[in-house]
Structure 1
Amino acid sequence: MAQASTLPELLALQARGRGDAPALQFGDQTIGYAELAARADRMAALLGNTWGVRPGERIAWLGLNHPQQLVLLFALARLGAVLLPLNIRLAVPEWQAVLADCGAARLLHDATFAVPAQALGAAGGLPVHPLETLDGAGGGPPPDRAAPDVPLLLVYTSGTSGRPKGALHTQANLLANMAMAAAVQQLTPPDRVLTVLPLFHVGGLCIQTLPALGAGATVLLQPRFAPDATFDAIERQRPTLTLQVPATMKALVDDPRWPAADLGSLRAVWAGSSLLPEPLVQAFHARGLPVCNVYGATETGPFSIALPPAQAVGHVGSCGWPAPGVEVRLAGLQQGVGEVWLRAPNVVQRYWPDQPATDGEGWFHTGDLARQAGDGSYTIVGRARDLIISGGENIHPAELEAPLAAHPDVLECAAFGLPDADWGEVVAMAVVLRPGAACTDAQLREHLAQRVARYKLPRRWLRLDALPKTALGKVQRAVLAARAGPQAG
């Protein structure tokens, strides 16, 4: 990756060195590196000279994936301002809370979200601008206030542990993450990276998309994930890499096109998730595609621990080894399991507006529990707050969820604890069966009994049509416990 201390400097280097080479392909648009840099300069001039965007101001974006969102990021980097990408899956009150919390100065939107954007603007007294207004002229060269330690990206956490918090990524954080991700994925200019995950999340933006631009590769950008569009892009545009999550992996594997789809251009599929269901991983491996896990958090880049292609087949369930420059500590070790602490140059130092994100020594406490193998690789076993302690024994949800998810009738499942007077807690299991399946609780229990110790077996079962999840797809175990109640059976 080109060496630079700010994102505008990096883009300028790519524009000089790569010029007409394609940076982005979006529908029938192809944007070269020189044009991408020119667009960012024009947009910075418009925002800074005409709109009066000041250093540190938060500019919100509400929309599907679009090249202008990436141009906006580079333009705001030039101005020393901050991009606030809004999660399109949230409800209006949740958007309002985020905008109010950080005091956003303006809201930009695409046509798909024009109606809620206008409503948000009217309710909050916020200037609202459609996507097309970003093409205007700015009058004169833009101000240059880029600096490594200036915040550029404000991303709110999913709120599984309470009220969402805004993680502030500086330009230095983003560049460090780009360098790590590019090195581990061996990104080079000939690569073609297919981006189908949303850019409002650090996974879609920072695991492959920005690292690809930093490496001079081509980003094949899709507005949103859809199985047909993804298969079409793979077969016609011939990407070499793509990033998926369990939900999109499942949608691809379950699609009728999966068995005959031409996936030959891909050298690997990377997956952003703490835990990957083994059946999905094996389905990709059966097609000759190594699934490379990336572990991290909104606050950590998120490229922290990664499983390279060469080790993927032999380390199913593991998230691999620390990325270059990442320190890992397992704190509070018990029975070989401890909380993952991370310290690295891509880890944010504060939440909005000025709440520390790390401890006094710079360690970020993830709240995730992991064990380390003899070869140094790490495997995530669950969340610290999700740990079930029954009769003095520690039971990690992942120990039960992985084998139960392998049952042919189970679509998805989640283990959680319920208070119990005799045992402290007992294990409960929420299960969503596949359409048409009629497996009984006793049959599911017997399936688990052949694979885990008896003390770990669920005492209570909860049948659901779908698991309650946050907007980022994380299971809400507290909601499950509330639904199950003390008398659930």
Structure 2
Amino acid sequence: MPHPTSPSGVVSPFAGMDVPWLLRMRAETRRDHPFLIWAPFDAPARPWSYGEFHDRVGALAAGLTKRGVRPGEFILIHLDNCIESMLAWFACVELGAIAVTTNTRSAAAELDYFAGHCGAVAAITQPSYAAAVAANCKDLRWIAVTSHNAGAEPAAIDLPAWAERFEALFADSADRPRRATDPEAPCSVQYTSGTTSRPKAVLWTHANALWGGKVNAAHQDLHQADVHMAYLPLFHTNALAYSVLATLWVGGSCVLQPRFSARRFWDVATLHHATWLSTIGFCMKALLEHPVPTKHAFRMWGTAFGDPPAFRSFGIPIIGWWGMTETISHGIIGEVDQPNTPMAIGRPAAEYRLCVTNDDGTPTR
């Protein structure tokens, strides 16, 4: 993606913008509209309007600043899907810290690698992971722990003596930090899955995050009236960029669940009038065991293949797509308004050129 400005004076689409700007703008233009709807399994759903979420992000950014977090420092966010994970992510990028979202299924050695590799100065986690974070992330200044495990009440756990409550991090949103808008400033880090070697740290700039929101929303034909449903992990690009940031870009709503639950899926989807879903084949196969309600609001699903015959019983158009942590948006995408070849991924996205090569680097024919 081009820089906001180049020596030739060319201006990018994100000049003068960053992630805090986008959230602030939506809080001004859609203040009372639901942005994130936190839907835990064992408690009523909790909607967060754009205005309320923006205010709470400011309070956390102010509190993190008072806690000594400085721009350019890395904060580990080791959480399952929950509203705290999004508050922490947006608060970090607002004050200029770099949010590092890590896979909560990581082994001890992986946690040690993540924290040491990025040089994390602090971590935000939940009770079920607090001991592992404390034991394996040795150079942290502090750890903050949420009051629940992705909506579930924790069992009696001995937290590290130096851990503190996540809720204690908040301060007055009026004291939220101010910094110059810089779309090229570092924003966040996600580690790849490590299929070919050790996981790679992919650093997003604010412009990258805005790119993800804008382009993914366009690929999915998202609008303000849409309700995106997200149960895939927020520490991956899929849920964060395809679902949350794309929703933020258009001013829609996003329903966050702790994880996938076939038994609860249709009840949550119909209750919140979900119109869009990013999913995977495993989840769709599990849903075949449950009746499809006649009055759901879904107009489109996206997954790794388009219009798979095995899932036609859902009666919902399914587009294929492909992307990576490094691409942020889909590099290959199906068409939302045209027929797609069943089981095909799609075509190269308009923003990319793709080349398929042999092992020796020569193009395939």
Go from structure 1 to structure 2 and tell me whether the alpha carbon gap of 1:125 and 1:167 turns closer, same or farther (over 3 Å shift). Answer: closer
Query: Where does residue 233 of structure 1 map in the other structure?
Result: 268
Correspondence 1:79 to 2:114: no
**Aligned match of 2:155:** none
State, as a whole percentage, how many aligned pairs show the same letter.
Answer: 29
Residues 1:309 and 2:336 are matched in the alignment: yes
Distance (Å, rounded) in 1 between the aligned partners of 2:213 and 2:16: 11
Pair 235,51 (structure 1): closer, same or farther in 2 beyond 3 Å: same
Alignment of 1:54-203 (within 5 A): 54-121=70-137, 123-131=138-146, 132-134=165-167, 136-137=170-171, 140-203=175-238
Matches of 2:190 and 2:91 in 1, distance apart?
A: 18
The one-letter code sitting in structure 2 at the alignment partner of 1:37 is H
Paired position in structure 2 for 1:406? none
CA distance in 1, matches of 2:287, 2:295: 12
Helix, strand or coil for the counterpart of 1:116?
helix
Flag the 1:8–1:17 CA change in 2: closer, same or farther, 3 A.
Answer: same
Distance 1:43 1:86 in 2: 20
| Counterpart check, 1:53 vs 2:65 | no
Distance 1:57-1:158 versus aligned 2 partners, 3 A rule: same
Q: Out of 242-251 and 10-19, give the one that drifted further.
A: 242-251
Q: What's the CA shift for 1:145?
A: 4.7
Decide which of 292, 316, 334 is 1:289's aligned counterpart: 316
Normalized against structure 2, the TM-score is what?
A: 0.82
Q: Kindly indicate whether the alpha-carbon contact (under 8 Å) linking 2:17 and 2:181 is maintained by their aligned counterparts in 1.
A: no
Q: What CA RMSD, in Å, does the superposition of the two structures yield over aligned residues?
A: 2.6
Which residue is 1:328 aligned to? Answer: 354
Pick from 5, 22, 34: which aligns with 2:34?
Answer: 22
Residue 220 of structure 1 aligns to which amino acid in structure 2?
V
Matched, 1:42 2:59: yes
Report what 1:217 is aligned to: 252
Give the superposition deviation at 1:284: 2.5
CA separation in 2, counterparts of 1:147 and 1:229?
42
> Deviation at 1:289?
1.1
**Does the 8 Å CA contact 1:57/1:104 hold for their aligned counterparts?**
yes
The CA deviation string for residues 155-204 of structure 1, in whole angstroms up to 9 with x for no partner, is: 11111111211011111011112111111211111101110100001111
Residue 310 of structure 1 aligns with an amino acid whose one-letter code is D
Q: Which structure exhibits the higher relative contact order, with contacts defined as CA atoms closer than 8 Å and separated by 6 or more residues?
A: 2
Instruction: Name the CA distance, whole Å, in 2 between partners of 1:284 and 1:311.
Output: 19
1:294 CA drift (Å): 1.7
Q: Is the 8 A contact 2:124 2:166 kept in 1?
A: no
Q: Is the 8 A contact 2:62 2:170 kept in 1?
A: no
Secondary structure of 2:134's match? helix
Cα distance change, pair 301–155 in 1 and its aligned pair in 2 (3 A): same
CA contact (8 A) 1:105 1:127 kept: yes
Query: What displacement does 1:93 show?
Result: 1.4
CA shift, 1:33, in A, is 0.7
Q: Give the aligned residue type for 1:240.
A: T
Structure 1 distance, partners of 2:140, 2:75, is 14
The one-character-per-residue Cα deviations of 1:89-145 (angstroms, maximum 9, x if unpaired) are: 111211111111111111101233233233334x44552111352452158341325
Structure 1 residue aligned with 2:327: 300
Cα pair 2:16 2:181 within 8 Å, conserved: no
Kindly state the Cα deviation for residue 333 of structure 1 after the two structures are TM-superposed. 10
Instruction: Return 5+ residue gaps in structure 1 as ranges.
Output: 339-370, 372-489
One-letter code aligned to 1:286:
S
From 274, 278, 283, give the equivalent of 1:243: 278
For the residue of structure 2 that corresponds to 1:242, the secondary structure is strand
Amino acid at match of 1:137: A
Preserved CA contact (<8 Å) 1:2 1:215: no
Counterpart CA distance in 1 for 2:295 and 2:85 is 28
1:266 is displaced (CA, Å) by: 0.6
Determine if the alignment matches structure 1 residue 264 to structure 2 residue 288: no
Alpha-carbon shift at residue 146 of structure 1 (Å): 4.4
Q: 1:3 to 1:224 in 2, by over 3 A?
A: farther
TM-superposed CA distance for 1:332, in Å, is 5.7
Matched residue, 2:150: none
Task: Tell me: CA distance 1:337–1:285, structure 2 relative to 1, closer, same or farther (3 Å).
Answer: farther
Alpha-carbon distance change, 51 to 24 in structure 1, aligned in 2, over 3 angstroms: same
Q: Which residue of 1 aligns with 2:152?
A: none
Q: Which amino acid aligns with 1:174?
A: A
> How far off is 1:249 after superposition?
2.0
Q: How many residues align?
A: 327
- Greater Cα offset, 35-44 or 318-327: 318-327
Structural mapping, 1:426-441, within 5 Å: none
